[in-house]
C-alpha cells in the first residue's frame, strides 16, 4: 500500500533578475525512490526545493506530483497535499518541545473546527488523543521519545535534524524533500543518517529527494542522482554512472590524473 509519489519536473526555470538560478530543468523521480540532487554551492538545488514547495513561483515550467500539477499553488496547499520538507538551516519551532513540534505538524489531519476546538467536544478529545499517539509513535520510531518534553532548541544538532525530519513525517507525506540533512554532522553521524533515511523510506513509504554534499552518503543510499551546475542539469543516472561521468568529474569531483 505504497502512497509514495512520482514526481515529474518539466522544464522548470527560475530567474532572479539576470540570473537563471534554475535553468530549464527536467527530471523524473520514481515512487519510493531515494533521489539525490548534488552540485556545487549555488547550483540551484535549494531553489529547486523552493520551487517544488511553492515558496517561489517558477518563471517557466511545472512540477507534477502523481500526475497533478502543483505549480502555482500556495505553499500551505502544497504542504497539505503531502509534500514535506526540511530546511538547510534548521527551522524548528524552537520554544516548543519536541513532542509539540510533531503534534503541531499533524494539523492537517485534525478534523475538528474552530468552535469544536474551543468548546472541547468529544470529537476534540478523540482527535487530540489520536494525534498524540501518532506523535509518540513517530518519536519512538526514530529514538527521540526520550527527549520528547525538552525544548527543541536545547537539543544537540544531530537530534534537531532528526526532529525536523520527524516533524515532516507527521504530515504523512508522500514526498519528502531533505535539504542537506547531513550538514554539520561528523562521519559517524552521517553513517547513521544513511540507515535512518533508508529506514524512513521503507517504514513510511515515501519518495525522498535529497540534497547533500556528503558524497559517501549520496553514493550509498541514492537510487538515482541528478547533478546540477550553475542551474543546469549536468548529468543523471545511478551512482556508478555519475561517478564515471567525465563531465561530472571535471565540474564537481575534480579532474583525476
Partner 1 sequence: MTYWIGVITVTGIWMIAILGISVLTGFTGLFSMGHAGFIAIGSYVCALVSKTFAAPMWIGIPCGMAGAILVGVLIGIPTLKLKGDYFVIATLGIGEIVKLLIENVPQITGGARGLTDIPRSTTFPLVLIICVLCVVFVRFFLTSKHGRNGIAVREDEVAARAIGINVARQKLIGMAISCGLCGLSGGLLAHYMGYLYPTMFTMAKSNELILTVILGGKGSLTGTILASLILVPLPEFLRTEAAQEWRMVLYGVLVVFVIIFRPSGFMGDRELSIKGIFRFFKNRFGKKAEGGVGK
Cell of 200: 524512513
Which residue, 69 or 120, is less far from partner 1 as judged by CB?
120
The DSSP secondary structure of 47-109, one letter per residue, reads HHHHHHTTSS--SEEEEEETTEE-TTS-HHHHHHTTEEE--SS----TTSBHHHHHHHHGGGG
Q: How far is the CB of 77 from partner 1 (least distance, A)?
A: 8
Under the criterion CB under 8 A, does residue 95 sit at the interface with partner 1?
A: yes
Closest distance of CB 242 from partner 1, Å: 29
Stretch that binds partner 1, among 91-99, 195-203, 223-231, 243-251 (CB under 8 A): 91-99
Does residue 114 interact with partner 1 by CB under 8 A? Answer: yes
Report the Cα 232 to chain-centroid distance in Å. Answer: 21
Element (H, E) at 161: helix 157-169
- The yes or no reply on residue 80 touching partner 1 (CB under 8 A) is yes
Grid cell at residue 88: 538547510
* Cβ partners under 8 Å of residue 114, min gap 6: none
Only one of the segments 18-26, 32-40, 69-77, 248-256 lies at the binding site for partner 1 (rule: CB under 8 A); that segment is 69-77
Q: Does 73 bind partner 1 (CB under 8 A)?
A: no
Kindly list the distances between the CA atom of residue 239 and the CA atoms of 26, 43, 225, in Å, as whole numbers in the listed order: 19, 19, 7
| Adjacent-strand bridge partners of 63 | 9
183 binds partner 1 (CB under 8 A): no
Interacting residue with partner 1 among 55, 64, 239, 253 (CB under 8 A): 55
Q: Which three cell numbers stand for residue 15?
A: 530567474
Of 224, 175, 180, nearest to 204 by C-alpha is: 175
**x/- string (CB under 8 A) for partner 1, residues 126-145?**
-x------------------
The yes or no reply on residue 96 touching partner 1 (CB under 8 A) is yes
With CB under 8 A as the contact rule, the residue among 59, 66, 87, 88 that binds partner 1 is 87
Query: Which residues contact partner 1 by CB under 8 A?
Result: 53, 55, 74-77, 79-80, 84-85, 87, 91-96, 100, 103-105, 107-108, 110, 112, 114, 117-120, 124, 127, 167-168, 170-171
Amino acid at each position: 500500500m505504497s502512497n509514495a509519489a512520482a514526481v515529474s519536473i518539466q522544464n522548470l526555470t527560475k530567474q532572479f533578475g539576470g540570473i537563471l538560478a534554475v535553468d530549464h530543468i527536467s527530471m523524473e523521480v520514481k515512487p519510493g525512490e531515494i533521489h539525490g540532487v548534488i552540485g556545487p554551492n549555488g547550483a540551484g538545488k535549494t531553489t529547486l526545493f523552493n520551487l517544488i514547495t511553492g515558496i517561489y513561483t517558477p518563471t517557466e515550467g511545472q512540477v507534477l506530483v502523481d500526475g497533478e500539477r502543483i505549480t502555482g499553488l500556495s505553499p500551505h496547499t502544497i504542504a497539505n497535499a503531502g509534500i514535506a520538507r526540511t530546511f538547510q538551516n534548521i527551522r524548528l519551532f524552537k520554544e516548543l518541545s519536541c513532542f509539540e513540534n510533531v503534534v503541531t505538524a499533524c494539523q492537517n489531519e485534525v478534523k475538528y473546527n474552530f468552535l469544536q476546538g474551543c468548546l472541547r467536544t468529544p470529537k476534540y478529545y478523540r482527535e487530540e488523543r489520536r494525534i498524540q499517539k501518532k506523535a509518540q509513535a513517530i518519536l519512538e520510531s526514530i529514538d527521540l521519545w526520550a527527549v520528547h518534553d525538552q525544548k527543541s532548541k536545547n537539543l544537540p544538532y544531530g537530534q534537531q535534524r532528526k526532529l525536523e525530519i520527524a516533524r515532516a513525517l507527521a504530515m504523512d507525506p508522500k514526498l519528502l524533500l531533505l535539504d542537506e540533512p547531513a550538514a554539520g554532522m561528523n562521519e559517524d553521524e552521517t553513517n547513521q543518517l544513511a540507515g535512518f533515511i533508508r529506514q524512513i523510506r521503507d517504514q513510511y513509504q515515501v519518495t525522498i529527494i535529497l540534497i547533500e554534499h556528503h558524497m559517501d552518503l549520496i553514493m550509498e543510499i541514492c537510487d538515482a542522482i541528478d547533478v546540477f551546475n550553475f542551474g543546469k542539469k549536468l548529468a543523471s543516472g545511478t551512482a556508478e554512472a555519475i561517478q564515471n561521468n567525465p563531465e561530472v568529474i571535471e565540474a564537481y569531483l575534480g579532474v583525476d590524473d
